Amino acid sequence: MTLMKRILGSLLALIVVVLGALYWLGTRDDASTGPAAAPSDPQQRIERGRYLALAGNCVACHTARGGPAYAGGTPIPTPFGTLYGPNITPDDKTGIGAWTADDFWQALHNGKSRDGTLLYPAFPYTEYTRVSRADADALFAYLRTVTPVSQANRPPELEFPYDQRILLAAWRALYFKPGALEPDPGQSEQWNRGRYLVEGVGHCAACHAPRNSLGATRPADGLTGGVIPGLEWYAPPLTNDPRTGLGRWSAQDIADLLQTGIAAHSSASGPMAEVVLGSTQHLTGEDALAMGVYLKSLPDTPASTAASAAPVSAAAMELGGKLYRQQCVQCHQAAGEGSAGAWPALAGNPTVTAPSPVNAIRIVLDGGFAPATAANPRPHGMPPFGQMLNDNDIAMLVSYIRNSWGNSAGGVTSLEVKRARAAATRN
């Protein structure tokens, strides 16, 4: 009995030590600040912050549709429930009017609110931790200038046990390591700038990295693509895999898509169209190209969800080809080459050749509309075919374009189309 008590006591002590270590790792702060080149002139700092707010697309999560800017309320769906973007206007009671620059830095860099509360990672502090203190201060200075709005923050609507915030300490211990991004002396200034925008301010991994069952991304997985939780769109790989990623793109092609919404190999649609509209079209040409240069330096890692292509029957290709000639050939051309500057090519298009066919299906169902940008104010659009074609027709049509003109992405079933219809209705 005494031996058993000793064993149980040792196990209990071990559990306490492990839990304590997890809590410490999950709540620790990081003091690094990164490059500290902030404009000394107050107006220049505010303007810098305004640009960073656009580059980081802060409006997307902090401005509800039809609501005042930065007053919060935007629903953010996740597999664990719905969170709502908080009010970040300088209102003293409901916004961040009582915050200091140190408080704001703590939120971005260490993922903690003003009172030390651990923040849910729907706020991408996992990427924002790489933002320098100088840029965090500039962003805060800009937010202090927006119109204050008295609007209470809506609490998260999460399922148990995800509504137990204390559990975030364990999640953070496993998946979050705070730390500013230091320049790589072995790379060019342009490359370092691109990495900073992609990995930090632009938080591209929030959509373009695969997530595990606990909603975490891992640096080892890179930007290999994944389904965006709650939206059921597929964010394609940003690696240089020639079949599913950016292998056929140039750095300038990437910059063109970011600034105009359309490029030689594809056009922005779905959530990416909104990103271009609200964020990346406002990038300077130098910054957009720097992001392209950095992304072109990534390895040709295949998509994380890549699977062997499902075979397509000759009958499906024949019927899909007939539908293509009836409905699509006028804009996308007989060889899928598209019309430059108007309708994107389908041959080699990452949206078409992605491991998941959901984007191609949803565009056929609901239409494809590139964003109206300053550089491309009157983009051509694609009408919806969801009312005209049934699930089987769309399955054959998408199967055809995914396996023609050098594409070899596999077939699509009518069940996948049915699911995409249902997802479009929910969203």
pTM: 0.89
The alpha carbon of residue 389 and the mean position of all alpha carbons in its chain are separated, in whole angstroms, by 31
Q: What is the mean pLDDT of residues 297-322?
A: 81
Could you say which of 297, 332, 352 is where a domain stops?
297
pLDDT per position as a tens digit, 87-119: 999 999 999 999 999 999 999 999 999 999 999
Identity at 413, one-letter amino acid code: T
Q: Do residues 41 and 168 both lie within one domain?
A: yes
Identity at 280, one-letter amino acid code: T
Strand 368-369 to strand 381-382: parallel, antiparallel, or no bridges (unpaired)? antiparallel
CATH number at residue 388: 1.10.760.10
Q: Do residues 411 and 332 both lie within one domain?
A: yes
Q: Do residues 156 and 219 both lie within one domain?
A: no
Establish whether 282 is an annotated binding residue: no
Q: Per mean pLDDT, which range of 342-346, 369-373, 406-410, 423-427 is the poorest? A: 423-427
Has residue 195 been placed in a domain? Answer: no
Q: Do residues 275 and 326 both lie within one domain?
A: no
Establish whether 380 is an annotated binding residue: no
Q: Domain range spanning residue 220?
A: 205-297
Q: What is the mean pLDDT of residues 365-371?
A: 89
User: How many domains, the chain?
Assistant: 3
Establish whether 109 is an annotated binding residue: no
Establish whether 203 is an annotated binding residue: no
CA nearest to 328, candidates 414, 389, 264: 389
Residues contacting residue 113 through CB under 8 Å, at least 6 positions apart = 106, 107, 119
Q: Do residues 73 and 167 both lie within one domain?
A: yes
DSSP 95-157: SSTT--HHHHHIIIII-B-TTSPBPPTTS-HHHHTTS-HHHHHHHHHHHTTSPP---PPPPPE
pLDDT per position as a tens digit, 54-92: 999 999 999 999 999 999 999 999 999 999 999 999 999
Q: Do residues 217 and 286 both lie within one domain?
A: yes
Establish whether 265 is an annotated binding residue: no
Predicted local confidence at residue 343, as pLDDT: 84
pLDDT per position as a tens digit, 23-53: 445 566 776 766 666 677 889 999 999 999 9
Q: Do residues 171 and 250 both lie within one domain?
A: no
Predicted local confidence at residue 39, as pLDDT: 76
Q: Do residues 68 and 157 both lie within one domain?
A: yes
Q: Do residues 278 and 229 both lie within one domain?
A: yes
Q: Do residues 259 and 342 both lie within one domain?
A: no
Establish whether 328 is an annotated binding residue: yes
Q: Do residues 320 and 221 both lie within one domain?
A: no
Q: Distance between CA 413 and CA 398 in Å, rounded? A: 9
Q: In terms of DSSP H, where are the helices of 144-284? A: 168-175, 189-196, 205-208, 251-260, 271-278
pLDDT per position as a tens digit, 127-153: 999 999 999 999 999 999 999 999 999
